[in-house]
A and B are shown apart, each in its own frame.
Chain A
Amino acid sequence: MTTAFASDPIPARAGIGLRLPHQAQVLAKQPAAAWFEIHPENYMADEAALEELERIRSHYPLSLHAVGLSLGSAQGVDNAHVDRLARLVKVLGPGLVSDHLSWSVTNGQYLPDLLPLPYTEEALAVVGRNVSQVQERLGRQLLVENPSTYLRYAAGKYSEAQFMAALVDRTGCGVLLDINNLFVSACNQRVEPGQVLEAWCQALDPASVGEMHLAGHAIVATSSGAELRIDDHGDYVCAGVWSLYERAVGHFGVLPTLLEWDTRLPEFAVLQGEAAQAQMILNAAEVEAASQRQVGTTVAAARASHAHFA
């Protein structure tokens, strides 16, 4: 590592999840992309990849989306891993840093998955302590993402949205609202996704949401023949998720939005196409917001004028 970048803010535009197979192409051609997001764990023990990423960073704003902090682990976060992340943050100057509302470490073993938490008081205390510890070490706010879920615990007094809102209150962290995860989890629990989004809208202060994610998912049949949605990031964003995203943008505002694609990774141009679709929704929301502001200004001016002549 030779350079240290100042932290560039992530623009409220559609960015792309940068994966290692696309890195050389991005470096060589510098294709159009508003910003990139990477998984820092892929660079912690790969000097060659990090060297390339540093060169990419000089052309694009960057966000770090961790998958290994295990914020929900009862045994606490691994300080050595937090230090590795802190070193990357220092060098790469990311605009945003995030991880998930999940756990992946137990008994000293790392399980590469985003395992769900029961939304209990005990879990809230654990996650709150871990998030605070990470934020303190990084010296910055962490965004926490809602995971896709395939099972629900009997224990728990909070809904996922309420749990996240309580976590925000307790730690000052932000929220990374993954629209695909919300959709997948709702479908797997046979709840209408719009209803779940409504619950998130009611639970969260819009100002606490700092980023959104979009991705594709798979539909499979379980051994009992039931339909199950798997968050494999291996397909185009589906119509239901696009529709939910439009509603989320309408409520939470125009925010940095990431297009993720991990399995069966297509050509980079496909990701650009998906990001462009997200950007169109952001643009439309921006126009709508501007027109609302204009209406507000006109009404205010009319009121002022009316008052003047009254």
Chain B
Amino acid sequence: MHTLPEERSLAALQSSIGAALLAADASGQGLPEALFAGVLPGAEGLSVHRNTVLGALSHALRLSYPTVDRLVGEAFFDRMAVEYSRAHPPVAPQLTVWGAAFSEFIDGFAGTDNLPFLAEVARFDAQFDALGRCAADEGFHGAKVELELDGGSGVSLSFNAHLRVHRSRFDVRALRDAINAEDAAAIDALNYRGAGKDSEAGSLGVEHSYALWRTAAGVMVRELSPVSAQFVRAVLRNETFEHIEANNVAVLQREVLAAGFVRISDTATAAGMA
């Protein structure tokens, strides 16, 4: 029980109620009953408010991390969400953008030893969530690049404004698809269960890179080879390209120039490339 005086300022009252609502242990959740004069005990009223606060925060995280929710189930997700909420309560009412540290928080969360990819799935969810809140870019308002290819032909590229590259030591797209399809066999087939959360990319195979972007149809994702990933990351860093090596041109044409996140402005030149 708190030992603050019962005659307290509004600021002190609100501060002690706030602390009581977020307290994890029973001893921190109570306030002196003399503060209250309702028919029902104050503790029962506070309990309603505690459930509302923690329920709303869990709900907000569930909307941002739907694949994590499906993977671990509602009850376990709530456990993680409530602990996270107590450790990192929001500071503003826009709950859609709260919870950025959730991936890191659940990495190695007690009881998730057989899910070494849990935090990576959460990071991938966070990308979809953030992009889903962006207005669709149908005008390719992002980076612009002029390229000269090996044959001497030039090409002008305009990129989706929200394009980003996501890297993971796990094939998180395959994991996400399998989890959303509730296909446990497909998850097992990826053979990640015994990987250990600190496994390096090398022990799991190659590092995976994905392009993610936003269109009117929703969030799009496409896996990229190392060459294409390196190229797109360089584009997003506004690097200039004077020349693309011949052995990389085919890869870029297949994975980047044909992708939905780029528009080739000079169609005559593009036709010449094909």
Contacts and interface: CB of A to CB of B under 8 A. Distances in A.
The yes or no verdict on A and B being binding partners is yes
Interface of A: 41-42, 44-51, 67-68, 73-75, 78, 80-81, 84, 103-104, 106-113, 115, 117-118, 120, 122-123, 126, 149-155, 188-190, 222-224, 226, 228, 230
B104 to A, nearest CB: 20
Interface stretch (B39-47, B140-148, B262-270): B39-47
Which of B41, B52, B56 has the largest number of chain A CB atoms within 10 A? B52
Contacts of B214: 48
Nearest to B162: A47
Interface majority SS (helix, strand, loop, mixed), chain B: helix
B134 interface: yes
A290 B236 CA distance: 67
Interface residue tally of chain B, by bracket?
A: 35 or more
A109 B266 CA distance: 52
Interface in B68-89: 89
B41 A42 contact: no
Contacts of B46: 151
30 contacts: A47-B134, A48-B133, A74-B10, A74-B11, A75-B11, A103-B14, A106-B14, A107-B18, A109-B18, A109-B90, A110-B90, A111-B22, A111-B53, A112-B52, A112-B95, A113-B52, A113-B56, A122-B9, A126-B10, A150-B45, A151-B44, A153-B36, A153-B37, A154-B6, A155-B7, A189-B39, A222-B47, A223-B47, A226-B40, A228-B40
A34 B234 CA distance: 51
B42 A151 contact: yes
B21 interface: yes
B44 A228 contact: yes
A49 B133 contact: yes
A188 B40 contact: yes
Interface of B: 6-7, 9-11, 13-15, 17-19, 21-22, 34-42, 44-49, 52-53, 56-57, 60, 89-97, 132-136, 214
Contacts of A222: 40, 44, 47
A151 B89 contact: no
Contact of A154 (B21, B34, B97): B34
Contacts of B57: 112
A88 to B, nearest CB: 12
B44 A226 contact: yes
Contacts of B56: 112-113
B133 A118 contact: no
Which of B13, B91, B214 has the largest number of chain A CB atoms within 10 A? B13
Contacts of A44: 94
Nearest 7 pairs between A and B by C-beta?
A68-B93, A151-B45, A152-B38, A74-B11, A112-B56, A150-B45, A106-B18
Contacts of B45: 149-151
A239 B204 CA distance: 61
Contact of A48 (B22, B53, B136): B136
